[in-house]
Amino acid sequence: MSLILVQSPKGGVGVTMCAGSLAMIIAKSGATVTALDLTGQDSLKLWVGVRPEQVVYGAAPHAKDIMLQSGVRPVSVGRARPGAMQSLALVDAVAIATDYAIADIASDDEDTLNALMPRSSLCLTVLSAQAGSLALLPRALERAGEDGKVVFVVNNVDARRRVAADAARMVAASVGDRVTALIRHDQAVEEALASLEPLPLFAPLSAAVADLTALSGCIAKLARRPAARAPAADVG
Ligand SMILES: Nc1ncnc2c1ncn2[C@@H]1O[C@H](COP(=O)(O)OP(=O)(O)OP(=O)(O)O)[C@@H](O)[C@H]1O
Ligand SMILES: [Mg+2]
């Protein structure tokens, strides 16, 4: 199993959207993917086609295991934030039955991030092309350290908005070839969520899905070579 962590020092930047949509896209290539919600928000399932009222508590003795038609297995800790130890136990529990586990980690949960980092093949740090996310860039860089398996994704890129375009360039200048993907701001993302449909099924031709699909290709390569650095993205 390849464990892929998706996280950010800043909340609300699209971590869960990326984790869920990537799970769907990677599963489409034939791999089995576990979408592992460690946030205590129980919202990752909404991005892989599970309804809000449907319970997907996983890896507990009473768990009702769900494998979706898409090849994604949603596993959630429900609404109680797990500690680092419980997160490790969950990762161990899902490891046998899956090619990829994509873990959504809450922005302020550094304990879980640190506990899972040694087990992971890749850690995606999601930043938003917005001033608030940029303010936390130094913290994101500190968290990443020199670890080559930590790569950066800039979400909400919008060439028409000055701050967004500048923000994408600024991140690229700061982290260099560790920017693995730019994901465009796209109305289809919100529309998919509002429709309770996974984004790649709701809007397969959307700009955001094109960008996430390109990212999934990088992930497949990087996850096989955990020590490798990410290719540079063209920020225009
Ligand atoms: N590329 C995008 N284009 C348009 N809307 C987006 C994009 N990415 C995310 N969003 C929207 O931004 C909101 C926040 O996304 P998401 O819940 O994935 O963020 P998060 O980082 O997981 O937040 P939290 O810290 O609360 O867990 C959602 O309403 C989502 O639909
Ligand atoms: Mg989230």
CA distance 76 to 100: 15
Q: What does the pLDDT look like over 23-65, one tens digit per residue?
A: 999 999 999 999 999 999 999 999 999 999 888 866 555 556 7
Indicate the residue type of 147: D
Q: What does the pLDDT look like over 81-121, one tens digit per residue?
A: 889 999 999 999 888 888 999 999 999 999 999 999 999 99
Least confident of 33-47, 60-74, 148-162: 60-74
CA distance 166 to 168: 5
- Closest ligand 1 atom, CA of 20? 18
Q: Whose CA is nearest to atom 30 of ligand 1?
A: 190
Residues with CB under 6 A from ligand 1: 8, 11-17, 39, 41, 107, 155-156, 183, 185-186, 189-190, 193, 208
What global pTM score does this model have? 0.92
Among candidates 128, 167, 186, 175, which has minimal Cα distance to 150? 175
- Closest ligand 1 atom, CA of 41? 27
The domain segmentation of the chain, as residue ranges, is 2-224
The pair of three-digit structure tokens given for residue 26, joined into one six-digit string: 């990677």
Contact 32, 8 (CB under 8 A): no
Contact 75, 90 (CB under 8 A): yes
What is the fold of 2-224? Answer: Rossmann fold (3.40.50)
